[in-house]
Structure 1
Amino acid sequence: MTSSGQSSSLPLRHTTEEEKFAGDGIVSGERGSGEGGDFCLVAGVLPEKRCRESFESGKPMEYEEILEMADKEHPLVYTNKKELKLLLSSGILVDWGRRWFSLNKSEHNCELISASEFSFQDPELIEWITDPKSRFSEVAKIQRATDLNIDVDIETMFLTPGITYAAYLVFKYCNDFFVIEEEEEEIISEPTFVGLRYKLKEVGESLISDLADHTDNRWMIVELCQLVCYKKVTKLELSLDNIHGYNSILLEGIQFMPVEKDENDKSIQMENAHLIDTNREQILPDDYRHIIRLAKDSVPYKITNNDLYLLLSNGILIEKGQSFFYLDKDGVKCSMQSARTILKANECFRWISAIQHSRFEKVAECQLGNDFHINCHINSHMLSPNTTYATYLVYKLPEPSLGTFECPIEVKVSDRFYSEETKVHFIFLTSPKTIVINMINDDEDHDRGCHKNPLSRPKMEGIPKERKDGWMETEMWTFTTDVDTKTVNRELALSFCSYEEQFTGLIVQGMEIRPKLTVTLT
């Protein structure tokens, strides 16, 4: 996830040493004319007339207070409102260097509060150091992340009223044994499991936030909660307990950013829509005769192309009833492999009679285990050329009493012949939830309500969805075929990130392979 205002503020021209160390940060007598009138080139505050203007979007400019609080050691340099907008989009230090203010793409305010405002129960374990990627002059180096003992009692100053914000802890792992050169660091796109344990004042129980996203400036952000804000000033109280795995971390602060809307949050299913009755032969795959020979039930030899297309678009069982083949509405090959096919070597599963709306006679039920392996062998005849495919685990969850299944699952995808090509990412079997605090327009704490909402992760693929047949599915892996399709051989190792979680009671129907959808709902 890329956060707004993550990059450092860049001046529009280099300031002189005299400007940097000027008492009030303003060069007297230096003025310029630009879009909308005269104003200072190097300024800590806009003239009153300019503060009442709007940005190009027509939204009110409410930045007089912010600009008055700008860091005097780094004067703001702009010549017109467009340059000021770019400056604020990059971000500026305010409030004596304790806060970082920025605008996101929608011109909503974002605010980062420094870790210097936190209360550390064991200050001897904290070292304040500089970091070239931080927006603040110092960050907290914590030697024992497995025992944080940090209390947070902070107030925002600049949130946009009427917007739902997410509060993120901003940190990164610190390795004391070697230093990686910044230019050699690889930017990580996949989330990282961190298992942050913490408590919110509004919630009595201990909470866990499992996955952290990586920002463009190489920090990590893990969501703590969401807040429905009605005022610029919002109070947040919580305690940070521990982070999984690593000892040393660098802690920058807590950032408040507007929640991104997931435009693809609705369950989207492939439709076997029938096309018009012309050109059926062109739509049929070139090797359709080979597929027909694999059918479990015999297909009439004198079937017309029109009827054959209808048959394949509805789908047929092949390979002795262990695979289901169909064509999508664009004539692209799709298939589902049974649990018996993909779980051959897994002793932790037992075979039970198919339940409602299963394509196969038998499905698999997990009896015990923290992990299992999927045999992903897809014959070239089951794939269309030049197509990006996604593979989906099709499953049902057990009764709630057998487990919550809330912990993320680590998926390792490896080539059986080139083990060094293993790739790791995370999926969920249940939609992750986040705490939403409703900041009622009142100062009384008892008016603040909270509830749980699905966690918004628009850029993450492995979020489960309910299918039209009543089963659940979650995306496990994607691949792209070439002009000449080749048989796919991969092994997928699935394991819970927490050893306390078990797959007991999970029912697996199989693995579906179909073109990956990139749909924007309007």
Structure 2
Amino acid sequence: MDDPFTKLPEDFVSEIISRTSPLDASRLAVVSKGFKSAAESDPVWDKFLPGDCFEIVSTSVSPVVYSTKKELYFSLCHSPILLDAGNLIPLGQIEELFGYMDCRRALRVAKLKSVCWLDIRGKIKTHMLSSSTTYGAYLVFKLAERSYGLESVNAVVRFVNDEADSDAEERAAILHLQRSNARHGSRQQTGQLPVRRNDGWMEIEMGNFYSDKGDDGEAEARLIEIKRLGGKSGLIVQGIEFRPQA
């Protein structure tokens, strides 16, 4: 039986497939011989890669080996790379096979030694996100052996152009990065608690937002504690992740 799709111009088919998703492209590659070549072509997978992908890859500590854009895409999905002599960790801007966007920012891994005020911010352009999708912002961190002052901090997630800092702070969520010291009383912690990930890091949800700003918006997640007296120490931050919620 003839495959009618083999009669279509490949560049025409490629343009159509590039407007779908990595999952759709992978499915179409096995649906029809007429789709296979187009669905695996560089023009299609180039559209699935972030605009600054090759700039990021060029600064990788170890060479990123690939022969096609599709290979590069899946390499970045499954194998994180170190940048800038190991000081920067790109946490991806790649839409994974099943359509989930793991949009994270490349942040320096930072260890908090001792401060009185804590204010950490991570931002992402909404054009990097899937539309009509609810995203959660997650702080990825560890605690040093000697850590203190992190029993209760605030977190806010906002659209930068829509809400002022002061307004967002009024609805801040309470996060507990570490458990209360029993010697200081048995007061129950009623805010968000962290969970341990498979990679050994901890994560805690800072808040969520609905992505409907198109190319014009910017979302910000902020961890803040500037009112309570006393020092804070021992927080090791890997970064802030923005990812879709089920």
Give me the CA root mean square deviation.
Answer: 3.9
1:409 aligns with 2:157: no
Say if 1:415 and 1:491, in contact at 8 Å, map to a contact too. no
Match of residue 91 from structure 2: 324
In the TM superposition, residue 466 of structure 1 has moved relative to its aligned partner by 0.5
Give the counterpart letter for 2:56 in structure 1: A
Question: What secondary structure sits across from 2:144 in the alignment?
Answer: coil
CA deviation map 1:438-484 (0-9, x unaligned): xxxxxxxxxxxxxx9x96x6xx6x32000111111111121221272
* Contact 1:387–1:515 (Cα < 8 Å) also in 2: yes
Does the Cα contact within 8 Å between 1:409 and 1:497 map onto a contact in 2? Answer: no
In structure 1, what is the equivalent of residue 143 of structure 2? 397
Q: Report how far residue 386 of structure 1 moved.
A: 1.8
From 180, 198, 218, give the equivalent of 1:468.
198
3-state SS of the aligned residue for 1:293? helix
Q: Contact 1:323 / 1:337 at 8 angstroms: preserved in 2? A: yes
Instruction: Give the 3-state SS of the residue equivalent to 2:27 in structure 1.
Output: coil
Partner in structure 1 of residue 102 of structure 2: 334
Cα–Cα, structure 1 residues 415 and 430, in superposed 2: closer, same or farther, change >3 Å?
Answer: same
CA positional deviation for 1:485:
4.1
CA contact (8 A) 1:412 1:493 kept: yes
**Structure-2 change in CA distance of 1:319 and 1:515 (3 Å):** farther
In structure 2, do the counterparts of structure 1 residues 288 and 429 end up closer, same or farther at CA, with 3 Å as the change threshold?
Answer: same
Is 1:372 aligned with 2:118? yes
- Conservation of the 8 A alpha-carbon contact between 1:393 and 1:473: yes
User: Which structure is higher in helix share?
Assistant: 2
> What does the per-residue CA deviation read over 1:108-166, in whole Å, with 9 as the maximum and x for residues that have no partner?
xxxxxxxxxxxxxxxxxxxxxxxxxxxxxxxxxxxxxxxxxxxxxxxxxxxxxxxxxxx
Corresponding residue of 1:292: 53
Q: Aligned with 1:279: secondary structure?
A: helix
SS of match in other structure, 2:203: strand
For the residues of structure 1 that align with 2:72 and 2:83, how far apart are their CA atoms?
18
- Flag the 1:294–1:328 CA change in 2: closer, same or farther, 3 A: same
Rounded Cα–Cα distance in structure 2 between residues aligned with 1:279 and 1:315: 25
Corresponding residue for 1:229? none
Q: Deviation at 1:493?
A: 4.6
Runs of 4+ in 1 over 4 A off after TM superposition: 274-277, 280-285, 298-302, 315-322, 412-418, 431-434
- Counterpart in 2 of 1:446? none
Distance 1:318 1:327, change over 3 A: farther
Separation in 2, partners of 1:313, 1:515: 16
Contact 1:368 1:503 in 2 (8 A): yes
Kindly indicate whether structure 1 or structure 2 has the higher relative contact order, using CA contacts under 8 Å at least 6 residues apart.
2
1:388 equivalent in alignment to 2:153:
no
Q: In 2 relative to 1, CA 416–487 (structure 1 residues): closer, same or farther, beyond 3 Å?
A: closer
> What is the deviation of 1:277?
5.2
2:56 and 2:234 map into 1 onto residues whose CA distance is: 32
Q: Determine if the alignment matches structure 1 residue 278 to structure 2 residue 27.
A: yes
Structure exhibiting the larger radius of gyration computed from Cα positions = 1
TM-score, normalisation: structure 1: 0.32
Q: What TM-score do you get using the length of structure 2 for normalisation? A: 0.61
Distance 1:324 1:485 in 2: 21
- The answer for unaligned runs of 5 or more in structure 2 is 1-22, 30-38
Structure 1: which amino acid aligns with 2:91?
F
For structure 1, which runs of at least 5 residues remain unmatched after alignment? 1-273, 341-362, 435-451, 518-522
State the secondary structure of the residue aligned to 2:75.
helix
Q: 1:480 to 1:331 in 2, by over 3 A?
A: same
* CA shift in 2, pair 1:409/1:289, >3 Å: closer
Q: Name 1:503's counterpart in structure 2.
A: 232
3-state secondary structure, aligned to 1:310: helix
1:245-275, CA deviations, whole angstroms, 9 ceiling, x for partnerless residues?
xxxxxxxxxxxxxxxxxxxxxxxxxxxxx99
Contact 2:157 2:208 in 1 (8 A): no
Return the alpha-carbon distance in structure 1 between the equivalents of residues 174 and 217 of structure 2: 25
Q: Check whether the contact 2:139–2:241 (CA below 8 A) recurs between aligned residues.
A: yes
Q: Which residue of structure 1 lines up, in the alignment, with residue 214 of structure 2? A: 484
